[in-house]
Amino acid sequence: MSSFDLLLFSLSRVLCSPIAVFFQIQGCMICLTLALGWACASYVRNREIKQMKDCMKNGNSFSFLSHDINELEHSYQLNLPRVTVIMPLKGFGEHNLHNWRSQITSLYGGPIEFLFVVESTEDPAYHAVSRLISEFEDHVDAKVVVAGLSTTCSQKIHNQLVGVETMHKDSKYVLFLDDDVRLHPGSIGALTREMEKNPEIFIQTGYPLDLPSGSLGSYCIYEYHMPCSMGFATGGKTFFLWGGCMMMHADDFRQDRYGVVSGLKDGGYSDDMTLAAISGAHKRLITSPPVAVFPHPLASDLNFGRYWNYLRKQTFVLESYTTNVNWIMNRALFTTHCYLSWGFVAPYFMAMIHVAAALRFYNKEFFPEEITYNSGGLLLVTILAICTLVELLSMWNLTRIEVQLCNMLSPEAPQLSLASYNWCLVFIAMLVDNFLYPVSAFRSHFSQSINWSGIRYYLKDGKISKIERTQRSKDMGPVFTDLGGKHLYGKKGMPTRGSFLSSLSRSLAQWHQPKKFDN
């Protein structure tokens, strides 16, 4: 018998010890807990689908806009409150044009304005969105706002606050959207309706449904977002907040209630983490309506490096905080997430050892009598395999229901499909993402700095203390953002022929010709 066989069987026996068995059973429990959470989220989303179908059976063919057809009457629409939609932009990518179109062509019946906020006119997004606005200038109230450079907070927060300063004086609600949000025709109306029904709501939010492009990096993004989707599929009150979609009372910013403006402006790095902390400190209500789920197509060339950069940004937000209580909560999230991530991955490494030991044992014709094999390892492997299958089925079911809901909420758009999802890659992404999360979290903790869209931020005591912008060398290749594959830089004062025009033409073509996940 080789030394490798001896080592393999020794490890297999060790992994049958009570402590090892505990960790393997714990991994199974994590799988089943995720499966249960996704099942509950599926119930909430599916309930909305059934309500929409019932409305259609009762003659309301516009149930994707409102369950109550009387709310679509002209007399009702005239009394809707004014809404300002603020979209901080950075760079221009393949899906941006379609996303912006979905935002400005909303079927909200009340007065509404759209503010696209960019850092400078050198940003490729400035020229792209300017052209789009010129197409709709007679139909929508939209304009581009140049915010300038941030000095005390992240560039995204700076753009948002400049947008707030520019918004119409009569706006009752302000809706912050990321440029990768693809709205449904009735999304703004649905969010506003909930705000009107319950004035106690502090923030309304939603969550994206990732559409992987086929690369492992895109599936890692999808897998990373799926556990968080449970907290946004409550159909009501939630403790979670996604910065890609946040509707708030405009007066909260005008009057700096609860310190929303000062809290963001004074060293704020993450808009959603800062506002969630303020909400918790003042016991304010955050809700997420069941219809607030938005298709989020990932870049077709989203490579593993850009996924890693995105993960670094996500773990870095736990290093920012506003109060001591917020710091304690972030440390608890940091510790819990790291423990559960490696607690999820470890049983699969143990299962590989059990399977390898079993194969070596049954494939050998002769073994010394003193060598014994504990078949209990295969039992643990079988239990883990069953739990994994249940977990994947639950994830598939939630994705299926959300795809169906998105199709019903946007009946005019190319229909989404599950056909392009590769579930083998989903499983691999689960292992890769959960293995890398603690690595990224520890690196973020010890570095206290991050490069976000070409700008490096340094934190001190949970707030931004230093911002570095290095002059981009002419010899450098194009720089992209993490998920959208967006060009971040263009020629000064005009779009670059090689980046902007080609990206614009590709986006137009992709808008008219659906990608594989739209078939």
Inter-axis angle of helices 96-104 and 124-135, to 10 degrees? Answer: 40
* Alpha-helix runs per DSSP H in 58-148: 74-77, 96-104, 124-135
Answer whether residue 37 is part of any domain. Answer: no
**Given pLDDT bands bounded at 50, 70 and 90, which one contains residue 427?**
very high
Task: Tell me: pLDDT of 494 over 80.
Answer: no
For residues 297-312, average pLDDT: 87
What is the tens place of the pLDDT at every residue in 21-48?
999 999 999 999 999 999 999 999 999 9
Looking at residue 360, its pLDDT comes to 75
Looking at residue 368, its pLDDT comes to 52
pTM listed for this prediction:
0.86
- CA distances 322 to 4, 243, 370, Å, are 53, 17, 62
Which run of H or E residues covers position 385?
A: helix 376-409
Q: Are 127 and 500 in contact (CB under 8 A)?
A: yes
For residues 130-152, average pLDDT: 92
Give the span between the Cα atoms of 37 and 43, in whole angstroms: 10
Looking at residue 501, its pLDDT comes to 37
Answer whether residue 23 is part of any domain. Answer: no
What is the tens place of the pLDDT at every residue in 355-372?
888 877 766 654 555 555
Answer whether residue 111 is part of any domain. Answer: yes
Looking at residue 480, its pLDDT comes to 54
The region of weakest confidence among 129-138, 150-159, 431-440 is 129-138
Q: Residue 112: which of 100, 104, 121, 120 has the closest Cα? A: 104
Looking at residue 374, its pLDDT comes to 64
What is the Cα 185 distance to its own chain's centre? 20
Looking at residue 516, its pLDDT comes to 39
What is the tens place of the pLDDT at every residue in 235-292?
889 989 999 999 999 999 999 999 999 999 999 999 999 999 999 999 999 999 999 9
What is the tens place of the pLDDT at every residue in 475-490?
444 455 556 556 665 5
Looking at residue 172, its pLDDT comes to 97
Looking at residue 507, its pLDDT comes to 38
Answer whether residue 151 is part of any domain. Answer: yes
Q: Residue 420: which of 208, 218, 184 has the closest Cα? A: 218
What is the tens place of the pLDDT at every residue in 69-80?
988 888 899 899
Q: Residue 496: which of 468, 472, 460 has the closest Cα? A: 472
The CATH number of whichever domain residue 118 belongs to comes to 3.90.550.10
Task: Look up residue 341 and give its amino acid.
Answer: S
**Given pLDDT bands bounded at 50, 70 and 90, which one contains residue 451?**
confident
Answer whether residue 26 is part of any domain. Answer: no
Range of the domain at 91: 64-302
Task: Tell me: pLDDT of 323 over 80.
Answer: yes
Answer whether residue 32 is part of any domain. Answer: no
What is the tens place of the pLDDT at every residue in 462-472?
999 999 987 65
Tokens encoding 190: 């649905």
Q: Which residues pair with 207 in a beta bridge?
A: 293
For residues 431-447, average pLDDT: 95
Looking at residue 168, its pLDDT comes to 95
What is the tens place of the pLDDT at every residue in 373-387?
567 788 999 999 999
Q: Which residue has the tokens 């292992």?
A: 431
Average pLDDT, the chain: 87
Answer whether residue 105 is part of any domain. Answer: yes
Answer whether residue 190 is part of any domain. Answer: yes
Looking at residue 96, its pLDDT comes to 85
Number of folded domains in the chain?
1
Looking at residue 356, its pLDDT comes to 85
